[in-house]
C-alpha cells in the first residue's frame, strides 16, 4: 500500500514567505552606521518603547518582585532541569591528546565563545522558556558575557517573568529591545556592551532574516522557520491525546505545520474528528492560530506499516517528533531525522518546550535532516593543536613536501624542506612530486 493522504496541506511554510531581506539589510546598515541613536529610533518606531534599554539591577529587582512565588518556583524547577542536562552535554566534550605517529602529538580543546546574545521572543506570547533554554546553556558552556534581549511592550517593558528567568539563569545583561534592532545592538556592541560572538534564540521572520544576514560576522544557532511537529501513532494510541498534542503545537501560529502519520485508519479518522472540537475550545488568539494551521498546513498520512511510517517521518525531518506506538526502543533505533524525540504517551512536546531539560530551540523546515538543536556544544569552539619532536616531524615533513609539490604549492613544500635540512643535515630526502 502506498502512502495515503487522508488530509493534505494546501500551503507549505514557504507559501507565504515574503521577501524581508531588503528591509532587514537596510535596518542593519542604518544601525551599524548610526549606532546607539539609530537603534533607539527603531525601538521607538517598532517597539513603541522609550524606557531603559539596558536594565539596571534596581529595575531587574523591581520586575522580579512582581513575579508570583509559585511561578518563580516553576521557573527554578525548569532551570534546574535544563542546567542538569546541559552540564551532562558539556561533559561529553573534553580535551583530548593523541600520539598520531611516534613523536607527533595532536589534540583538541573545547573553548566557549566569549559573548553570547540570547534573543527571547516577547510579542504574542511571553517566551519565558526561551530565556531558560538559551541563557542556561550559554552559562553552562562558560561564556564570559551573556546578553538576554527581549522586545518590551509599549509603556510596560519586558515581561517580569522573562526578566526573572534571564536573571536566575545567568544573564549578565538584560536588554529591552526587540526585532532587528535588538539583534543589531548585540552584534554591533551598542550601549557599551561587548560584541557578541554568537546569536541564539527563536524570533519572527525579521529576526530570522537578520541572523541569516549576519551569519559569518557572528555565529548563529540556526535559521528558524515556523515551528512544526509530527506524531507517529499506531492503533494502540489514545486518539484524544494524539488530537490534543496536534492542537497544542498548532496554536504556535497560523503557519505551523502539524502532521499525523499512522498505520491505523480508525485512529486517523478519530483524531481528525476530534481536532476541530479541541481547537474551538481554545482562547481566541490560540483558536485562530490553531484553526488556520490545521486547515492549511496539517496533514494526516496513512501508511502500510511502521517501517513506512518511519521512512515518512525521516523524509519530513520534523522539528518535534512524538511516538505513540508500541516497541519504543525500535523507534528510537530506527528514526534518524528530528530535532527532538518524545517517546511514549507519557512525554509530550510541551514538556520539552518548557521544563523537562532538553532544549526547545530546534531545527525547523526540514533542517533536522542535517542538524540538531541548540545545546552547550553550539557555544563551544572545538579547536585543535599539535606539537612534535624532530623525529616525529620527519615523516610528516616528507609527506607534506611531496603532497604540496603535487598540488603546485611550492611555498608550502619549502616550509617542510627547511626543517628537514635543519634537523637532519646529513640525510638526503626525495621530496619531489614525481613517482
Average the pLDDT over 217-243 and give the result.
96
CA dist 403 and 208 (Å) reads 43
Question: Is 89 assigned a ligand-binding role in the annotation?
Answer: no
| Model confidence pLDDT, tens digit, residues 263-294 | 999 999 999 999 999 999 999 999 999 999 99
* 255: helix, strand or coil: coil
Does 289 carry a binding-site annotation? no
pLDDT band of residue 324 (cuts 50, 70, 90) is very high
Q: What is the pLDDT of residue 126?
A: 78
Mean pLDDT of 11-37: 85
pLDDT range class, residue 304, cuts 50, 70, 90: very high
- Known binding residue 412? Answer is yes
Specify whether 410 is catalytic. no
The answer on whether 79 is annotated among ligand-binding residues is: no
Asked whether residue 181 is marked as a ligand-binding residue, the answer is: yes
Identify the pLDDT of residue 1. 60
The β-bridge relationship of strands 104-112 and 145-150 is unpaired
Determine what percent of the chain falls in helix, strand and coil, rounding each to the nearest 5: 50, 15, 35
Give 144-203 as a DSSP string.
SEEEEEEPPBTTTBS-HHHHHHHHHHT-SEEEE--HHHHHHHHHHT-TTPPPPSEEES--
Asked whether the predicted pLDDT for residue 16 surpasses 60, the reply is no
Residue 249 counted as an annotated binding residue: yes
For residue 83, the model assigns a pLDDT of: 98
Q: How much is the pLDDT for 15? A: 52
Are 114 and 194 a contacting pair, CB within 8 Å?
A: yes
Residue 434: is its pLDDT beyond 90?
no
Q: What is the pLDDT of residues 353-384, one digit of tens each?
A: 999 999 999 999 999 999 999 999 999 999 99
pLDDT, residue 122, reads 87
pLDDT in tens, 118-146: 999 986 667 899 999 999 999 999 999 99
127 annotated to bind ligand: no
Cβ-proximal residues to 250 (8 Å cutoff; 6+ apart), any chain:
256, 258, 279, 289, 290, 293, 294, 298
Task: For the sheet with 96-101, list strands across it.
Answer: 96-101, 104-112, 380-388
Among candidate residues 320, 360, 391, 407, the one labeled active-site is 320
Of the chain, the end-to-end C-alpha distance in Å amounts to: 58
pLDDT given at position 14? 57
Q: Is there a catalytic annotation at residue 320?
A: yes
| % residues pLDDT > 70 (the chain) | 97
DSSP string spanning 359-377? ------TTGGGT-----GG
Q: What is the pLDDT of residues 377-428, one digit of tens each?
A: 999 999 999 999 999 999 999 999 999 999 999 999 999 999 999 999 999 9
Query: How does residue 86 score in pLDDT terms, banded at 50, 70 and 90?
Result: very high
Question: 177-207: per-residue pLDDT in tens?
Answer: 999 999 999 999 999 999 999 999 999 999 9
Q: In the predicted model, what is the mean pLDDT of the chain?
A: 95
Pick the catalytic residue from 319, 360, 391, 407. Answer: 319
Q: Is the pLDDT of residue 12 over 80?
A: no
Give the per-residue pLDDT at 11: 83
HSE-CB of 265 using CA atoms within 13 angstroms: 6
Residues 129, 364, 362, 39, Cα dihedral to 10°:
-60
Beta bridge partners of 150: 176
Calculate mean pLDDT across residues 158-167: 97
Span 47-84, pLDDT tens digits = 999 899 999 999 999 999 999 999 999 999 999 999 99
pLDDT band at 17 (very low <50, low <70, confident <90, very high): low
Amino acid at each position: 500500500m502506498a502512502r495515503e493522504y487522508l488530509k493534505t496541506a494546501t500551503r507549505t511554510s514557504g507559501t507565504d514567505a515574503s521577501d524581508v531581506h531588503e528591509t532587514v539589510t537596510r535596518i542593519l546598515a542604518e544601525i551599524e552606521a548610526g549606532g546607539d541613536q539609530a537603534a533607539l529610533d527603531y525601538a521607538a518606531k517598532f517597539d513603541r518603547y522609550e524606557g531603559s534599554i539596558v536594565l539596571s539591577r534596581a529595575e531587574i529587582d523591581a520586575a522580579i518582585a512582581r513575579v508570583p512565588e509559585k511561578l518563580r518556583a516553576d521557573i527554578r524547577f525548569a532551570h534546574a532541569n535544563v542546567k542538569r542536562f546541559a552540564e551532562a552535554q558539556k561533559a561529553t566534550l573534553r580535551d583530548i591528546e593523541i600520539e598520531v605517529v611516534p613523536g607527533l602529538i595532536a589534540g583538541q580543546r573545547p573553548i566557549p565563545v566569549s559573548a553570547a546574545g540570547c534573543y527571547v521572543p516577547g510579542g504574542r506570547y511571553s517566551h519565558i522558556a526561551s530565556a531558560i533554554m538559551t541563557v542556561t546553556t550559554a552559562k553552562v558552556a562558560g561564556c564570559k558575557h551573556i546578553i538576554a534581549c527581549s522586545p518590551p511592550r509599549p509603556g510596560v517593558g519586558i515581561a517580569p517573568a522573562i526578566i526573572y528567568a534571564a536573571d536566575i539563569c545567568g544573564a549578565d545583561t538584560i536588554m529591552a529591545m526587540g526585532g532587528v534592532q535588538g539583534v543589531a545592538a548585540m552584534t554591533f556592541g551598542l550601549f557599551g556592551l561587548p560584541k557578541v560572538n554568537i546569536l541564539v534564540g527563536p524570533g519572527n521572520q525579521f529576526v530570522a532574516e537578520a541572523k541569516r544576514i549576519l551569519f559569518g560576522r557572528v555565529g548563529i544557532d540556526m535559521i528558524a522557520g515556523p515551528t512544526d511537529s509530527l506524531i507517529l501513532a499506531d492503533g494502540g494510541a489514545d486518539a484524544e491525546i494524539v488530537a490534543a498534542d496536534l492542537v497544542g503545537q498548532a496554536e504556535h501560529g497560523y503557519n505551523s505545520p502539524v502532521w499525523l502519520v499512522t498505520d491505523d485508519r480508525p485512529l486517523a479518522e478519530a483524531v481528525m474528528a476530534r481536532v476541530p472540537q479541541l481547537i474551538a475550545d481554545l482562547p481566541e488568539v490560540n483558536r485562530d492560530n490553531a484553526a488556520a494551521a490545521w486547515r492549511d498546513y496539517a496533514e494526516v498520512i496513512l501508511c502500510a506499516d511502521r517501517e513506512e511510517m518511519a521512512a515518512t517521518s525521516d523524509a519530513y525531518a520534523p522539528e518535534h517528533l512524538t511516538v505513540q506506538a508500541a516497541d519504543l526502543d525500535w523507534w528510537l533505533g530506527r528514526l534518524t531525522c528530528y530535532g527532538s524525540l518524545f517517546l511514549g504517551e507519557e512525554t509530550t512536546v510541551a514538556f520539552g518546550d518548557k521544563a523537562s531539560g532538553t532544549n526547545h530551540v530546534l531545527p525547523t523546515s526540514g533542517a533536522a535532516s542535517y542538524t540538531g538543536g541548540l545545546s552547550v556544544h553550539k557555544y563551544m569552539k572545538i579547536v585543535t593543536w599539535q606539537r612534535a619532536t624532530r623525529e616525529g616531524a620527519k615523516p610528516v615533513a616528507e609527506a607534506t613536501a611531496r603532497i604540496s609539490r603535487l598540488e603546485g604549492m611550492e611555498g608550502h613544500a619549502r616550509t617542510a624542506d627547511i626543517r628537514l635540512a635543519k634537523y637532519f643535515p646529513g640525510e638526503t630526502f626525495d621530496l619531489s612530486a614525481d613517482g
